[in-house]
């Protein structure tokens, strides 16, 4: 087995983890809500009950922030070279499977993996173990069985 050191980014990963942790903590402190992307978007689309009065504005602002942040970064820092070791079909299928998984798991990686685990939620631990285990298994099968 060889390691592709170009994909080894410990400092960027650490910085991203710190930002996600801070954002999650600030969000729950300021809003009393879990920072789960599928819940935020699902609530906006009406998939999680009817939106409460005053509940739509912050959800729209959150989604717009997620969409504009990469554009602003691109304008400030310039393009970042990215490599995806999969074809478009695989990427689309993976995205659809993640979407289905978030519906069945009642949450996503940010809701369960970051916020749920930090609150010591047993349900979030089970969900995180399930989606991480499934991800590991799929990568292993795709790289070593179908390679």
What is the tens place of the pLDDT at every residue in 68-90?
999 999 999 988 777 777 788 88
User: How many domains is the chain partitioned into structurally?
Assistant: 1
Which residue's entry shows tokens 């959150």? 62
pLDDT level of residue 100 (50, 70, 90 thresholds): confident
pTM over 0.75: no
Between CA 147 and CA 85 the distance in angstroms is 12
- Ranges 26-35, 47-56, 81-90: which has the least confidence: 47-56
What is the DSSP track for 36-84? -HHHHHHHHHTSSSPPPTT-HHHHHHHHHHHHHHHHHHHHHH-------
Identify the domain containing residue 139 by its residue range: 5-145
């Amino acid at each position: 087995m060889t390691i592709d050191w170009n994909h080894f980014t410990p400092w960027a990963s650490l910085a991203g983890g710190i930002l996600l942790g801070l954002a999650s903590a600030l969000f729950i402190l300021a809003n009393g809500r879990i920072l789960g992307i599928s819940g935020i978007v699902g609530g906006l689309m009406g998939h999680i009950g009817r939106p409460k009065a005053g509940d739509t504005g912050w959800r729209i602002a959150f989604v717009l922030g997620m969409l504009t942040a990469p554009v602003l970064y691109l304008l400030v820092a310039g393009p970042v070279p990215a490599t995806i070791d999969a074809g478009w079909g695989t990427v689309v299928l993976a995205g659809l499977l993640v979407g289905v998984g978030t519906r069945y798991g009642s949450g996503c990686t940010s809701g369960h993996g970051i916020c749920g685990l930090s609150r010591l939620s047993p349900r979030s631990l089970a969900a995180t173990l399930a989606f991480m285990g499934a991800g590991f298994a799929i990568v292993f099968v795709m790289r070593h069985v179908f390679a």
